[in-house]
Amino acid sequence: MKFDNPSQRSGSKDDEGLLASMTGMVLGDEAPKEMEFCPWRMARPFFDNFHEYQDWDFYYLYSPDMRYTGPFLFVSVEQLTTFLGIINSHLDTQLAIPDAHAKRFSYQFGSGNTPCPKYLGKVHDANSRAKLLDEKSLPACGDEALKYGQAGAEARDKVRETLETIAKYGHAKKKKTPGAKQARNREKRRTMMMMLQDALGLRPWEEALADSKDQKFDVGKAPPFPPKNSPVLIAIDVEVHETCHDIITEVGFAILDTEKTKTTAPGDIGRGWWALVESKHLRVKEYSFHCNHKYVDGCPDRFDFGTSDFVSNKDLLQSIDDIFLEHATQTSSAGQIIERDIIFVGHDIGSDDRYLASIGCHMDTKNVVLRADSKDLYQHLRSADQGRALISVLLDLGIDSKNLHNAGNDAVYTLRATIACAIEGMKEYTKQQETHCAEDVAGDVRYVQSEEVQEKEVSELLEASEEEVPEKRDVTWVPGKSYYYADDCDDDNLPMII
């Protein structure tokens, strides 16, 4: 498209809100194919600075690419051009779209029977924009998935490439993360690991020290310390439709109660606890026919740890809540329901958190005391710069797996990987403790020997010269012996070995 020069438009007062009266569309109406759209991210700077001059009509379009969980937002090119003309008229400016970047501001959709953007609504200020564009209120993916499925592969790929290009605008390759931020992220991962180990009774958390200070971790024995607050570990994996991420097709659970693990040896990489894990696999009836295959090889019908439960889409949230009620609550003697502490486990947990929130399951409202991400835990364990995919983590830890991308299986393997990271981390921690202990014991021995040597030599000096005792005299260094210099040692009064 060739943009009109906004600086040459009349920009009369009657132009304000022009497009607001031209659309005549309601929420969900599909725009005509001939309509040209400007990505909202390109038009946003104009809105942020001059939103008081015109209403804006928004449109949305979901991508066939499963990596994008939300819709892309657009305004019409005609409205943007009219808007710039109004601004130029009112403020005597020369705002215009640079010719070199014009293609970034204009796109058309609908070729090959692919969907066109749909009407979302109107905004006129920052408040109305925030309300309309709130992630929780954006429309779910409707018939777009069906249309993409019916369209030809070439047309579908063209839309995918176009939206991917739009997504990359403004995201040039960034410089490496500053050292301070890297350090903060490392500290977060370290803290996550320590909190998980405390919760599993693997580490001597503060309250347990008084009674169990001499206990040591051993994979062949039950945890040496009581699990801190006796939480329930609940691993969750969510599988969504590959072309419309608002459609949840499967939810998997793996549950491990620390009341069961505290009397059982974890074994190497936690194998001893695997039999204590309870697993569940929910499949949504309405989408049970679907199997992801474009980007990953889904296998919803191959749950290896039990029997899948089929639930309707409208009952999915209640089914999830029922699982939490069953495994993360207990009844007091007075008959009251008491929530137990929950450790929410996942691999790259943020995406599962968002998918659950999209159907009203907000983990923040549950008694979650820790989010344990197996990706971050593994990254800490290996001191790696980046996280790894679940399959890579499992292979490195020596955990056999099959039929991944089934939500139930993935939840189980994610929990196994999480436990393995905690166990392997404790092995390293124990080695360090033993090394430090050995060094301390050796130091104590050298300290005593040094004192005895020094006392003997001082005594000999006194006997050799009763008339004169030197105020300070260097002791002859003899190879193989150690000496303690209370006044002269610069290294924290540690003995020196020659």
pLDDT in tens, the chain (498 residues): 444 444 344 444 444 444 444 567 888 899 998 899 999 888 777 766 655 556 788 999 988 876 677 889 999 988 888 877 776 776 666 666 666 566 778 899 988 888 999 999 888 777 788 888 887 778 877 777 667 777 878 888 889 889 888 888 755 555 555 678 888 999 999 999 999 999 999 988 776 455 555 678 899 999 999 999 999 999 999 999 988 888 999 999 999 999 999 999 999 999 999 999 999 999 999 999 999 998 889 999 999 999 999 999 999 999 999 999 999 998 888 888 889 999 999 999 999 999 999 999 999 889 999 999 999 999 999 998 888 999 999 999 999 999 999 999 999 999 999 999 999 999 887 776 666 555 554 555 454 455 555 555 545 544 544 444 444 333 333 333 333 333 333 333 333 332
The answer on 429 and 453 residing in a single domain is no
pLDDT of residue 3: 42
Q: Please check whether residue 115 lies inside any domain of the structure.
A: yes
- Axis-axis angle for helices 374-381, 390-397 (nearest 10): 50
Answer yes or no: do 136 and 193 share one domain. no
Give the pLDDT score at 451.
52
Q: Is residue 23 part of a domain?
A: yes
Alpha carbon distance 39, 53 (integer Å) = 19
Sequence-distant (≥ 6) Cβ neighbours of residue 317 within 8 angstroms: 359, 360, 361
Phi-psi region of 327 (alpha: psi -120 to 50; beta: other; left: phi over 0): alpha
Number of domains, the chain: 3
Residue 20 belongs to some domain of the structure: yes
Same domain, 405 and 316: yes
Say yes or no: 369 and 466 in one domain: no
**Residues 343 and 230 reside in one and the same domain:** yes
Can you give the pLDDT at residue 428? 80
| Judgement on whether residues 164 and 218 belong to the same structural domain of the protein | no
Among 383, 398, 433, residue at a domain's last position: 433
Q: Which amino acid is at 143?
A: D
Within-domain flag for 111: yes
Whether residue 18 is found in the same domain as residue 151 = yes
Domain match, 100 and 19 both: yes
Per-residue model confidence (pLDDT) at position 67: 65
Apex 15 CA angle, 10 and 16, nearest 5: 130
What are the residues facing 38 on neighbouring strands?
Answer: 75
- Evaluate whether residue 441 is within a structural domain: no
**Helix axis angle, 374-381 to 179-199, nearest 10°:** 110
What six digits make up the tokens of 173? 């390759």
Residue 209: predicted pLDDT:
57
**Same domain membership, residue 256 and residue 142:** no
Angstrom distance (rounded) from CA 485 to CA 493:
7
- Domain end among 404, 433, 462: 433
| Final residue belonging to a domain, choices 124, 143, 168 | 168
User: Same domain for 153 and 194?
Assistant: no
Q: Which domain holds residue 124?
A: 6-168
Instruction: Provide the pLDDT for residue 493.
Output: 34
Per the domain annotation, does 438 fall within a domain?
Answer: no
Domain contains 424: yes
Both 241 and 289 in one domain: the answer is yes
Q: Is residue 176 a part of any domain in this protein?
A: no
The phi and psi torsions of 14 (rounded to 5 degrees) equal: -70, -15
pLDDT of residue 447: 46
My answer on whether 216 and 161 are in the same domain is no
Q: Report the alpha-carbon distance of residue 417 to residue 377 in Å, rounded.
A: 9
Contacts of 300 (CB under 8 A, 6+ apart): 239, 249, 250, 283, 288, 290, 291, 308, 406, 407
What span, in angstroms and rounded, lies between the C-alpha atoms of 167 and 67?
A: 11
342 and 367 Cβ atoms separated by less than 8 Å: yes
Report the distance separating Cα 329 and Cα 337, nearest Å.
Answer: 6
